[in-house]
Structure 1
Amino acid sequence: MTTFTIAATGLSMNYMPQYIAEQQGFFEEQNLNICSYLPDPWTKGLDDLENGQADVVLGGMWLPMIYSQDIQKYTSVAKIASKCPLVILSRERLTGGFDWKNLEGKRVLVSGGDGAGHYLMTVGSAREGGADPSKIRFIHDFSTSMICDLFEKGFGDFIVVQPDVAHSMIDRQVGFNFCDLTRKGSNIPWSVYYGLPETVESKLDEFEKFAVGLQKGTSYLLENGGEACRNIIKKNWPAISVDDGIKTIDMFIKEGMWRSTINIEYQEVDRWQDYLILGDVLDRKIAYEQLVDNRPYLYSKNKLSL
């Protein structure tokens, strides 16, 4: 067995294909022992890539895109999620139907300390949905725990949070569901596996085997639905009911969180770069081939006759 090490930026339900693949033994079939851990802070995962303690980081593709601007070359090898799982809550119950323009003139609290993806997805989706981002008062300078504390104590009009946090706030009537970005947001490469190009090159056989296991986990999840995740949910998210977790997974499947393959699609990369340019963290678009190494996916495609 060869150990393949993943520095994950969080524990998230949209990473379920990997968890399913581990549970079902799909990586073991490839003679891979998966070692997945949560570095603290999550940015330590980047250092672990450099010193060889991690083979890949699992997280948002916004980071390798930003760093590819003559800072540090990372290459993305597989996608695990095509939708943003976040939920936007409003302080007051809104009537009259959903409209992105409801955010205009309002304070919208978005986590900043945990990464840039939350803000970039919200601002890009709002503009794509017809709102003027310059009229939205984004607050994205604090950690998730701080924005939640601020919102619960009366600061801000909207907040962008993970589904489990949203469910808790809704249950306690702290906020009301404005929109699920899984439903209202477009397809983007929200979560991918990325690493150093030289590591991918030197360990290509391991990356290809990992892609096979991940693809089998994705296919299994799409075929069997949230019920197949019952034990995983119970173990990793004890604060929410297992049935609610299963409903979330089934909603993710219905709304296209996971595509049929782990391929990082050109159109998704192109759209995500539009959002990054709007968020002023990307100066211009980077060629797809400079960001993505498709060889692991193509290996899995051929191996599994996709």
Structure 2
Amino acid sequence: MKRFKYLAVIACVFLLFLTACSGEKKTNTKVKLGEVTRSLFYAPQYVALEKGFFADEGLDVELQTTWGGDKAMTALLSDGIDIALVGSETSIYVYGQGSKDYAVNFAQLTQTDGTFLVAKDEHPQFKWEELRNSKFLGQRKGGMPQMVGEYVLKQHDIDPHADLQLSQNIEFANIPGAFGTGDYQYVQLFEPTASIFEKEGKGHVVASFGEESGTVPYTVFMAKQSFMKENEETVKKFTRAIYTAQQWVAEHSAEETAEIIQKYFDDTDLDILTSSIERYKNQGSYATDPILKKDSWENLQNIMDEAGELPGDAPYEDLVNTDIAKKIMKENRRWQSLSFLSLENVTHHYFTKKM
């Protein structure tokens, strides 16, 4: 009886192998994905694309960069894209406007703020009070970088609007250039720009807003309710691919990740990409699973409320769907528990028994 069971398992594995190698071409499901900006902060997403994790799920993902949270949400709501990778605050803004087919967050990619405080001059023993009365180049009003920045400053008893010479009139894409050529003393920058500025002697990283602000659903994959209802299997496959990529990034070195995604940052040296990814990994910026936790959601609302940008109550139960992510992780644990039933292990077990 046992022999029959072992042979049956071997036969099943063999049939699966033959099916996978049969050469039958299947039409992949097209998914239009819009990212809010091109950022090293989104490394797991690029890994999913380059390692073929989406393709393995039968998805043909078309990536486009929208260059702005408002533009990403406009594209999502008008069906210009199917899924958006953007800050969770945008879903709260849409919900607050009374939209019936609002966006739902279903897979978290980053779980901290991704900006660093960069100073024009060196500050070996930096203290936050040094910011008082300084010329500070801030981010767009109402965006996550600016709200987190204000939240952190207030935690250090600094009123960003009263204690700083704060500028918020520069477009996101132009902020690095404006800081480099202007007389600003401090700025918030993402990687790899922060490291590039250090390498070129244009600035010095003196603090991390990600470390100061705690866990927050900073960048999340979201889709309209209608899309998720009509394409549940597609969303599930998408989430599975992202989870696979998250695990891959967590288990591999920063340099390995940098080499795979370098094509997305072809104007940045590999050493800068590597050090930037390492910096993000060290502070836990990359989520290791797609589940957006309730305490993180509440932290987000606190940050928005502190900045005066929270339009109203944003129920976790309405705006966050963790069911799909939980199913994916449960399936993964089940598969891991059965991994000993690989063809090699089964045949080895069977033949050593017989010998």
TM-score (norm 2): 0.79
What does 1:38-77 align with in structure 2 at a 5 Å threshold?
A: 38-39=65-66, 43-72=70-99, 73-77=102-106
Q: Is the 8 A contact 1:58 1:194 kept in 2?
A: yes
Higher helix share: 2
Distance 1:169 1:205 in 2: 43
TM-score (norm 1): 0.90
Q: Is the 8 A contact 1:125 1:186 kept in 2?
A: no
Letter in 2 for 1:69: G
Letter in 1 for 2:79: G
Whose Rg is larger? 2
**Aligned partner of 2:113 among 84, 92, 113:** 84
Q: Is the 8 A contact 1:79 1:263 kept in 2?
A: yes
Unpaired stretches in structure 2, ≥5 consecutive residues:
1-27, 335-355
Distance 2:131 2:247 in 1: 37
How many Å apart are 1:102 and its aligned residue? 2.4
Distance 2:172 2:97 in 1: 30
How many Å apart are 1:195 and its aligned residue? 1.7
Partner of 2:343: none
Q: Is the 8 A contact 2:39 2:191 kept in 1?
A: no
Give the SS at the match of 2:228.
Answer: helix
Partner of 2:308: 280
Q: Is the 8 A contact 1:90 1:176 kept in 2?
A: yes
Distance 2:120 2:319 in 1: 39
Q: Is the 8 A contact 1:225 1:249 kept in 2?
A: no
**Aligned partner of 1:143 among 171, 185, 190:** 171
Give the SS at the match of 2:280.
Answer: helix
Identity %: 15
Given the alignment of the two structures, is residue 266 of structure 1 paired with residue 294 of structure 2, yes or no? Answer: yes
Q: Is the 8 A contact 1:212 1:304 kept in 2?
A: no
How many Å apart are 1:35 and its aligned residue? 1.3
Distance 2:113 2:51 in 1: 25
Q: Is the 8 A contact 1:83 1:256 kept in 2?
A: yes
What does 1:231-242 align with in structure 2 at a 5 Å threshold?
A: 231-242=259-270
Pick closer, same or farther for the CA change 1:173–1:243 going to 2, 3 Å. closer
Give the SS at the match of 1:33.
Answer: strand
Distance 1:121 1:188 in 2: 9
Distance 1:129 1:265 in 2: 26
Greater Cα shift, 45-54 or 196-205: 45-54
Partner of 2:144: 117
What does 1:1-306 align with in structure 2 at a 5 Å threshold?
A: 1-39=28-66, 43-72=70-99, 73-95=102-124, 97-112=125-140, 116-133=143-160, 134-305=162-333
Greater Cα shift, 248-257 or 128-137: 128-137
Deviations 1:13-61 (A, max 9, x none): 1211121122222222221111111136664433332343311111111
